[in-house]
A and B are shown apart, each in its own frame.
Chain A
Amino acid sequence: MRWRLWLLMAPALALLLAIFAAPLLHYLWLSTQAQSVLTGLQPQPIGAQQWLRLWNDGRFWQDTWQTLRFSAASVSLEMLLGLAVALLLNQPLRGRGVLRTISLLPWALPTTVMALGWRWIFNDPYGPISRLLAGLELPAIPFLSNPALTWMATVGADTWKTTPFVALLLLAGLQTIPADLYEAAALEGATPWQTLRRITLPLLTPYLLIALLFRLAQALGVFDLIQVLTGGGPAGSTESLALYAYLNAMRFLDFGYSATLLLGSFAILLILCGAGAVIWRWSLRWQGGLR
């Protein structure tokens, strides 16, 4: 019986292997080679040297920290705001359809276009924010030229763009919750806060998890927004791992190291996901113990 199952799954498995495993294995091989403009783009085996270089590369660790910081900040903001927007759009308001459409607009814009838009909004001294501040006789805020501020500007732009995506996913989840649960809660005299905590959030959990997973995977690989908005600057403060890998491949023509960088960030993603899963299990068990 069992072999039949495998047989039926074989085409799907083969496809998965071809799409995911093959490039990964190729990159693993590439990370043991020197293939760059200095070798005339020919691969030359150099063992684990690229990995040593990665380990000693301060810029890799700086970019790792910056990518994690960006992801943590933007994804948590997007989850909170997305939940709020979803709850709002789930209310029986007049003109709800129009509101839902409007709230989706940022998500429909290509990232490059919206990043160019934000670059203008943050422009110092001619952008709208600077003009507004100048009108109030306040000094301009160096959104894109101060390393302490610029990463927040990238988080702001990303949140604006992807909150609708989270809201949409959560709205779909909200609509699967049966209305009679809320009626029962109302009969029992539950406050809105209690209803949210005891009914909405627990039943929404699978959707929250899916949104979280999608957003984390996207945020950890952030590239186009940063490339257009800041180019990784100022002072390298917004450079992400993906941008660094891109520079190595396309600008420096150093394919061996670029592959190592990509695998390195992939490993970090795996470790993060693993840790997240363990913590999730633990917290479930802990909650179970309390009940």
Chain B
Amino acid sequence: MIPPRALRRWALLLIALLGSLSLGLWGLATERVEPVSVLMPAPFADATAELVNAFNRSHPRIALSVTRGPLETEAVSDLAISSLLLGESPYDLLLMDVSWTPKYAAAGWLEPLDRWLGPDALSDLAPGAELGNAFSGQLWRFPLVADMGLLYWRTDLMDAPPRTPAELVAISRRLQREGRVPWGYVWQGKQYEGLSCVVLEVLRGFGGHWHVENQPQLDSPAAVAAASWLQDLVRQGITPEAVANMGEPEALQLFQAGDAAFMRNWPYAWAELNKPDSPLRGKVAFTTMVSEEGQPHAATQGSWGFSLLTGSQHKAAAVEVLRFLTSAEAQKQLNLRWGYTPTRLSVFEDPELRAANPVLADLQQALAAAVLRPLSPVYAQLSDLLYRDVNTVITGDQPAPTAMRELQSNSERLLRSSGGQG
């Protein structure tokens, strides 16, 4: 028999224990914070840092953290893929380049966004920005910033930019002859993805197509003419031979030094060229790529957007992050503070932004000219075939007709062996 006093003491202790336990559990339940992790290339991680802080302040239940990825596009992809291959990716959201989407979707790494964002998710997007987010009938990506190929030209050397390939050549030769610039036109000619973007624009400008209904069209007369034009630029000395190893930074370096009249590059170059210490500050403008009479002035679409990963344990919270970071308010800040091109129509038409950023209307126009690289899970191979072959044309190792015939048959073989899943 236990004495009543001892019993009372035990009971009190038990009550105290249970009480504190339930208090703790209740606290845990209400204080539970959902972690959301995003992988972004380094420049985007820097640009969104303030937005991320704002999100964490206004959403106490979600702890958003950003992993600062490498600088280079393909290095980010390598990092993402290595983690995805291990099965349990540490990320919930991924900031993706437009050309990765079909591959990642086919690998089963992405969660369709239709269900999460609703049917009118894309309704506010500016014309051109809606391209490249959907693949095989589902939405896989929501664009954060737009990116498209632009033709930069020197306002101190000419009154108006060339609109046809022949005009570009004529102006370049005149300026070179007069000794005002050593070179006419610089672009991305290295054996890498940037060359595919350049080729697509020239190809469309000559009236050709990379793909029509999953069939490559790379030995068409227009495609051969486009490749020959690029080769002739080098042969005639309008483009330096070094272009065969030029990426975006190398082309920008040459143009910014004042050594060329034209450059093909992305919108980021605009901010670089207008920095206070830039020798070309105020002497540059941009337009879309040249094209033959009656053909489109094409701008290769190169945007970045968020995708939700299948392996995420916090999908609802991640979608909230996605909505916040791609909202009109966020895009406005990214443009004002960092010069990133928005994707939402409402942001393009924002009067405050229009006043602060005089080239916004030009960017919107260029975005409307956006063209897509083929949407295919084997796009990486298709592009690898294209930039290797066209690079041999640029170096002069192969005549354009031979190289394009070879490219066409290689592309056809690749698509055949992949079961027509082009």
Which of A's residues lie within 8 Å of B, judged by CB?
Answer: 37-38, 40-41, 123-126, 140, 142, 144-147, 150, 230-236, 247, 250-254
Q: Mark B357-369, 1 if CB is under 8 A from A, else 0.
A: 0000000000000
Query: Residues of A contacting B74 with CB < 8 Å?
Result: 251
Is residue B81 contacting chain A, with contact meaning CB distance below 8 A?
yes
Bound-state Cα–Cα, A212 to B119, Å: 64
Q: Offer 24 A-B interface pairs, CB within 8 angstroms, sorted by A.
A: A37-B106, A37-B377, A38-B421, A41-B107, A124-B241, A125-B240, A126-B253, A126-B257, A142-B242, A145-B242, A147-B395, A150-B245, A233-B192, A233-B388, A234-B245, A234-B395, A235-B191, A235-B391, A236-B388, A252-B380, A252-B381, A252-B384, A253-B103, A253-B107
Residue-wise interface mask of B (235-257) relative to A, using a CB-CB cutoff of 8 A (1 in contact, 0 not):
00000111111100010011001
Contact status of A233 and B384, CB under 8 A, knowing A41-B108, A142-B241, A145-B241: no
Is the CB of B352 closer than 8 A to any CB of chain A? no
The interface residues of chain B lying within 8 Å CB-to-CB of A37 are 103, 106-107, 377-378
Interface size on B, residues (CB 8 A): 39
List residues of chain B with CB under 8 Å of any chain A CB: 74, 77-78, 81-82, 103, 106-108, 190-192, 240-246, 250, 253-254, 257, 259, 377-378, 380-381, 384, 388, 391-392, 394-395, 397-398, 418-419, 421
Q: Roughly how many angstroms separate A230 CA and B377 CA in the complex, as a whole number?
A: 26
B400 to chain A, nearest CB (A): 13
CB distance from B79 to the nearest CB of A (A): 10
A234-B191 CB under 8 A given contacts A147-B395, A251-B384: yes
- Given contact pairs A233-B190, A235-B395, A250-B77, a sample of 6 additional A-B residue pairs in the complex whose CB atoms are under 8 Å apart: A38-B418, A124-B241, A142-B242, A233-B192, A234-B190, A236-B392
State in angstroms the CA–CA spacing of A230 and B190 once bound together: 9
CB-based A-B contact count at 8 angstroms: 98
Q: How distant is A248 from chain B, measured CB to nearest CB, in Å?
A: 9
The interface residues of chain A lying within 8 Å CB-to-CB of B259 are 125
**Smallest CB separation, B218 vs chain A (Å):** 17
Q: Which of B108, B242, B381, B391 contacts A144 (CB 8 A)?
A: B242
Q: How far is the CA of A159 from the CA of B378 in the complex (A)?
A: 37
Given the known inter-chain contacts A37-B377, A38-B378, A125-B240, please indicate yes or no for A233 contacting B391, CB distance below 8 A: yes
Nearest to B106 among chain A residues (CB) is A37
Residue on A nearest B259 in the bound complex, by CB: A125
What separation, in Å, do the CA atoms of A230 and B418 have in the docked complex?
A: 29
The chain B residue with its CB closest to the CB of A234 is: B244
CA–CA, A263 and B378, complex, Å: 23
